[in-house]
């Protein structure tokens, strides 16, 4: 049951008990999805839509720092969060952008009267996002993220929504960072295996030891400005002779 369905009964013990039960289920779901970043993102957005009072849709925005900065809309529960992300990306401004860059929670009560983003707000209202609530998820060296909640109704998000959403965003940030680190670890292991296979091919072909084989791969990577892992894949797929 959605958390906001219990509003008619008041914010009493029954609601709090149900919320605790749902948060515990979310934690179990996140642990089950720890091996998949996309799976983790989907658990987060579904939980936000189901648990935060007033939320009709949810999505996650990831922004990559630096040159070629990327702006990704991920795990949206409908088309709306993606459309809102695309609009913010195009304009370079909006509640999600502010939440990410200013490290804050951003609440929009009514897009039709919102004055902070004069280009974004009227278009967002036309698309169907009348209220919005954005939480910064986390900040790493290369990536920043935000959890965004949407409603077609004005004044959809109250203090309880801000509090519950903030708690969920904190748990989500921890789970997402753990998932990213695990994926990076798996990628590193896979890369090591590929480089090991390429070294074996070079050792057999040229009767050299492992250090000499690795030096050949490293020189090729440096001279061609191609990542070492890709050089190794090329050796595996096409043979070692072009490297000598």
- Give me the residue spans of the domains in the chain: 3-184, 185-243
pLDDT at 135: 95
- pTM metric for this prediction: 0.70
pLDDT in tens, 44-68: 899 899 999 999 999 999 888 764 4
pLDDT in tens, 115-163: 999 999 999 999 999 999 999 987 677 788 899 999 999 999 999 999 9
User: To the nearest whole number, what is the mean pLDDT of the chain?
Assistant: 83
* CATH of 3-184 given 3.30.450.40, 2.130.10.10, 3.40.50.300, 3.30.70.380: 3.30.450.40
pLDDT at site 178: 73
Tokens 């590193």 belong to residue:
188
Distance (Å, rounded) from C-alpha 136 to C-alpha 148? 9
**Residue-wise DSSP of the chain:** --GGGGGGG-SSHHHHHHHHHHHHHHHHHHHHTTT-HHHHHHHHHHHHHHHSTT-SEEEEEEEE-STT--EEEES-SSHHHHHHHHHHHHHT-SHHHHHHHHTS-EEES-TTT--S-TTHHHHHHHHT-SEEEEEEEEE-SSEEEEEEEEESSTT---HHHHHHHHHHHHHHHHHHHHHHHHHHHHHHHHHHHHHHHHHHHHHHHHT--HHHHHHHHHHHHHHHT--HHHHHHHHHHH-SGGG-
CATH architecture of 185-243: Orthogonal Bundle (1.10)
pLDDT tens by residue, 74-104: 999 999 999 999 999 999 999 999 998 888 8
């Amino acid at each position: 049951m959605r958390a906001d369905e219990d509003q008619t009964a008041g914010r009493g013990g029954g609601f709090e008990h149900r919320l605790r039960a749902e948060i515990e289920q979310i934690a179990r779901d996140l642990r089950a999805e720890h091996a998949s970043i996309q799976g983790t993102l989907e658990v987060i957005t579904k939980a936000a839509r189901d648990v935060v009072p007033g939320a009709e849709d949810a999505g996650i925005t990831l922004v990559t720092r630096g040159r070629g900065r990327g702006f990704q809309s991920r795990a949206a529960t409908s088309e709306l969060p993606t459309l809102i992300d695309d609009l913010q990306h195009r304009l370079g401004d909006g509640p999600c952008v502010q939440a990410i860059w200013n490290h804050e929670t951003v609440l929009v009560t009514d897009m039709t009267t919102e004055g902070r983003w004069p280009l974004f707000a009227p278009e967002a209202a036309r698309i169907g996002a009348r209220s919005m609530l954005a939480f910064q998820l986390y900040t790493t060296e290369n990536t920043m993220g935000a959890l965004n909640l949407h409603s077609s109704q004005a004044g959809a998000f109250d203090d309880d929504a801000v509090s519950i959403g903030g708690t969920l965003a904190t748990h989500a940030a921890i789970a997402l960072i753990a998932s990213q680190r695990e994926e990076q670890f798996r990628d590193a292991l896979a890369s090591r295996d590929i480089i090991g296979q390429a070294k074996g091919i070079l050792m057999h072909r040229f009767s050299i030891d492992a250090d000499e084989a690795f030096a050949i791969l490293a020189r090729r990577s440096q001279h061609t400005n191609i990542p070492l892992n890709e050089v190794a894949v090329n050796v595996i797929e096409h043979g070692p002779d072009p490297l000598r």
